Amino acid sequence: MGRKPCCSKEGLKKGAWTSKEDMLLTQYIKEHGESTGWRSLPKKAGLLRCGKSCRLRWVNYLKPGLKRGNFTPEEDDLIVRLYTLLGSRWSLIAGRIPGRTDNDIKNYWNTHLLKKLKAQGNEPRRHKSLRKSKEKEKASSRNNQKSNNKIEKKKKEGKISENGSNTEEREQVAKKTEEQQRTQNFARVISANNHNFTGCCSSEVGTSSGASSSTSHEVNVEENDNKIGIYEKFHEVIDELLLNDNWLFQPDQCTEFNTQSHMMLKEIYEEYFQLVSENSCLF
DNA sequence: AACATTGACAACCGCGTATTA
DNA sequence: GTAATACGCGGTTGTCAATGT
């Protein structure tokens, strides 16, 4: 299926925004809110811009409460750790850092942090391609959908009850419970480790050259293939968890640092350190 | 002073997904 | 169920100021 452009490009302005345009956009959104639909907004606000462009300008520049520049060392550290965990999921990372936008963090990463880390010999691990991950996710989603459709069909046909008394449905529930149990066990295991978290980024630990003196789990991963395997496996598990559900991050509920999620992040890293140092694979 | 290069960041583009008709 | 539409995201490009030659 072909796709139409988001808006007609005819006669629309591109490039840098003027202060007058900023004022018009800000004024309109202050009066009507953000939820009136970006597509129709430019016309209503008297702007010769594409709706997408308006959204971007508002979200990344005009929205109240945004911080500009001057990233603190704490923010640097958090960005590095989140990148190591999540890869280039900038919106997810931005969701964990109040006042920062995905674009802002992405630019800062590309122009400052990456160079800084490379200079220190701490270039972070490259993540799986987001596209590949999404394809996998899509396949999984299709399977789930098929499965759900089957159940719905049977329910409609009266072959199974709404409360799950049918064997097939019970199996489904049992399977789901088992998955939940695994996730809970995983969380329990990492909660059981109560090391001091020093705030160093994992890439410092994950490479031989950049070991930080601040961590109590300094391990040379490159010296041991098995450890590398654990390292990769660990990240695969994290990737899977992040793709499968939102148990770790809930950006919508996060206006400040979400302590619980932050603790979870910390705990995951502690588990990783433990795995590498013990040289045993639990997954 | 003139030109080239680099750095920083704003903005654009194309794609995937969610929603609506 | 399907097509059309709108939105949001990540990757990339464009622009301009600062710096170097």
> Is the full-model pTM beyond 0.75?
no
Q: Does the CB of A105 sit below 7 A from strand C?
A: no
Which of chain A's residues 19-58 bind strand C, using a 7 Å CB cutoff? 37-39, 51-52, 55
* Nearest nucleotide, CA A3 to C1': C4
Tens-digit pLDDT profile for residues A55-107: 888 988 888 888 887 888 888 888 888 888 788 888 888 888 888 888 888 88
Please tell me the distance from the alpha carbon of residue A219 to that of residue A215, in angstroms, as a whole number.
10
Do the Cβ atoms of A239 and A92 come closer than 8 Å? no
- With a cut of 80, say whether residue A119 has pLDDT above it: no
Length of chain A: 283
Per-residue pLDDT, averaged over A21-37, amounts to: 86
* Nearest nucleotide, CA A110 to C1': B8
Residue with the bigger pLDDT between A113 and A278: it is A113
Q: Write the CA distances from A104 to A47, A53, A223, integer angstroms.
A: 24, 16, 37
Q: Around A200, how many Cα atoms within 13 Å sit in the side-chain half-sphere?
A: 20
Looking at this protein, which amino acid is placed at residue A159?
A: K
Per-residue pLDDT, averaged over A196-218, amounts to: 32
pLDDT of residue A127: 59
Categorize the per-residue pLDDT at A199 as very low, low, confident or very high, splitting at 50, 70 and 90: very low
pLDDT of residue A10: 59
Residue with the bigger pLDDT between A277 and A72: it is A72
Exposed/middle/buried for A201, CB within 10 Å: 0-12, 13-18, 19+? buried
Categorize the per-residue pLDDT at A212 as very low, low, confident or very high, splitting at 50, 70 and 90: very low
Tens-digit pLDDT profile for residues A159-188: 333 333 333 334 443 444 444 444 444 334
- With a cut of 70, say whether residue A46 has pLDDT above it: yes
Q: Does the CB of A104 sit below 7 A from strand C?
A: no
Nucleotides of B under 7 A from a protein CB: 7-17
Query: Residue A186's Cα: distance from chain center in Å?
Result: 19
**Between the CA of A5 and the C1' of B19, what is the distance in angstroms?**
17
**Between the CA of A55 and the C1' of C14, what is the distance in angstroms?**
19
> Which long-range contacts (C-beta less than 8 Å, at least 24 apart) are formed by A226-229?
A226/A279, A226/A281, A227/A276, A227/A279, A229/A281
Nucleotides of C under 7 A from a protein CB: 1, 3-12, 14-16
Categorize the per-residue pLDDT at A239 as very low, low, confident or very high, splitting at 50, 70 and 90: low
Nearest-CA residue relative to C1' of C13: A15
